Amino acid sequence: MSIYRNAVWFVKGLQEYTKSGYEAAAKHFAPADLDVNLSGRSFMITGCNSGIGKATAQEIANRGGTIHMVCRNKGRAEAAKDEIVERSNNQNVHVHIVDMSSARQVWEFAQNFLQSNAVHVLINNAGCMVNQRELTEEGLEKNFATNTLGTYILTTALIPALKKVEDPRVVTVSSGGMLTQKLNVDDLQFEKGTFDGTMAYAQNKRQQVILTDRWASQHKEIHFSSMHPGWADTPAVQTSMPSFHAKMQSKLRTEAMGADTSVWLAVSAAAAKQPSGLFFQDRKAVATHLPLASTRSTPQEEEKLLAALEEFALKFKPQ
């Protein structure tokens, strides 16, 4: 079945996830959707010192939004901030140094941030694809710790504050690669069998889509969405998937193309009118499963995921 899934997904990707796929979809975009003044709105964006995250921050800063950049590397984050400020002439860009793979750091950051800041929109953009199984200092597999648990803790910590502001939103940058994966709650740390970083990443991205759907049903006051940016030419793709990048480079989207739907979901009135909890690609809600791919999980499996994440989150929450 995985061979079938991967084949169907790759053919779909060649048609839809490439630069030409974006250009075809963009013919139907409403340009006025992004004609907004974001002054007075606060946006937290994780993993935004390069790639799609940086492009997202730039587009929002260009429209007057206050940006809180949550990044791991101080030097690269400060350099990205300077570039965003120079291009946008928007001084309201702030850097916060946080390792999203450290559950304790994420908790501490969120608690400290909320003492003196409001947030209207959270964009969960940070992600990693580690191709050798690696544990964090807290003993967690690194892809899971960053992509799933870090996202879960930050979102959970900010939900009470988001409920206090007007038009709150949470956008999670997932991946179409999740279409190849069925939720596996029995091996969240990828301890069984041969480790495959690409599979682990796709599994985490499936988890993010499930979380988005669950959060939407639990917290009606907030608009939740997840999205696929398409296949974009980013530093992360170059380093984590060098052979894919080498073969596909001429077909890959620009970083701005990859960021477009994330920006649209975060700022446009049109996006807020869409039902909460959906998965988007090129500004349209799309299916979260391939035909005949047997990737649907049961409510019990999803509950087990949520229970496991809550247990991990509480284990590392500062007292």
pLDDT (0 to 100) of residue 3: 84
pLDDT (0 to 100) of residue 68: 98
pLDDT (0 to 100) of residue 319: 83
Q: Residue ranges of the chain with pLDDT lower than 50?
A: 1
Residue of 202, 265, 234 whose CA lies nearest to 53 = 234
Fold of 1-12+51-68+142-151+168-230+237-318: Rossmann fold (3.40.50)
In order, the DSSP letters of 180-207 are G----TT-TT--SSS--HHHHHHHHHHH
Residue of 286, 272, 262, 270 whose CA lies nearest to 31 = 270
Cβ contact 58:263 at 8 Å: no
Residue of 118, 188, 98 whose CA lies nearest to 158 = 118
pTM: 0.96
H helices of 89-188, in order, are 103-113, 142-143, 151-162
The sign of the dihedral angle between the CA atoms of 179, 180, 186, 187 is: negative
Residue of 211, 75, 87 whose CA lies nearest to 155 = 211
CA dist 9 and 5 (Å) reads 6
CA dist 40 and 85 (Å) reads 17
Per-residue exposure over 118-154, b if at least 16 CB sit within 10 Å of its own CB, e if not: ebbbbbbbbbbbbbebeebeeebbbbbbbbbbbbbbb
Q: Determine how many CB atoms are found less than 10 A away from the CB of residue 177.
A: 22
3-state secondary structure of 62: helix
201 is catalytic: yes
Instruction: List the chain domain ranges.
Output: 1-12+51-68+142-151+168-230+237-318
